[in-house]
Amino acid sequence: MRLYDAHNHLQDERLAPHRAEILPALTAAGVRRMVVNGSCEGDWPAVAELARRDARVLPSFGYHPWYVRARTPDWQAKLAEQLDALPAAIGEIGLDKWILEKPGADAAPLPEQEEVFVWQLRLAAERNRPASIHCLKAWGPLVEILRREPRPRCGFVLHSYGGPKELVAPLAALGAYFSLPGYFAHERKQRQREAFRAVPPDRLLLETDAPDQLLPDGRNLHPLTDAATGQPLNHPANLTAVYAFAAELFGEPVEELARRVEENFQRVFAGL
């Protein structure tokens, strides 16, 4: 089978000590393409370097809402430079109210997040690049922005979609694709699984979000540990386990699901 990861962070420093083992494991798993998402100016060069070294890497550059406060005065020019240098998507971008509720979190307030998100969304629309969108507890503001602002004609990806089932149809009408992580295989994620059952078949994508969003222990095919902290990490080759979980969720043979996901991935990321 040919597998496609719509969202990971292969550039993450936690994966660096394991990368020599990770890349062959991805080959053995049948991973054909993976969207590797930068989160801020600091990691964009690492994403670009991975893309130059490995044709499977589809680079994506953006300012994640958690890191908006760290942006430099010329961040917009730097982002444009990355997009000029390589065929790339725009992301990970978005809105996050959840981080604002965490004690001690030093995140930008929602109006500042919105300003940065809107600028990047407009850039995605101008260049017709798919955008990978992160949203936590900010679905109302996100939908309002998506309705009033220009959107990329190729569509946009709602990474690890955790919004309500009722928003699936309106978001799909705006051009959304919905990316399912293996993390939703945890029993406590029943609501999220129900929302994905409402996703149109031609708008489904799958992702690992590695090194984050671990699968349940019984589904973790590639245990991995952070060398610095001893904490478990999500191995990108666990994409095979994500496909198996999705096939169970939708009640279809995994080979059939893989063909559909491949078509969807190639449609939204056409030309990249």
User: Can you give the pTM of this predicted structure?
Assistant: 0.98
The model's pLDDT over 108-136, given as tens digits with 9 standing for 90+, comes to 999 999 999 999 999 999 999 999 999 99
pLDDT given at position 162:
98
The CATH class that applies to domain 3-268 reads alpha beta
Q: Tokens standing for 124?
A: 């995605």
Burial (CB < 10 A; 0-12, 13-18, 19+), residue 138, is buried
- All residues at 6 or more sequence positions from 245 whose CB lies less than 8 Å from its CB, including other chains: 182, 184, 185, 215, 219
pLDDT of 104 reads 78
List % helix, strand, coil for the chain (3-state, nearest 5).
Answer: 50, 20, 30
pLDDT digit string, tens, across residues 76-117: 999 999 999 999 999 999 999 999 998 878 899 999 999 999
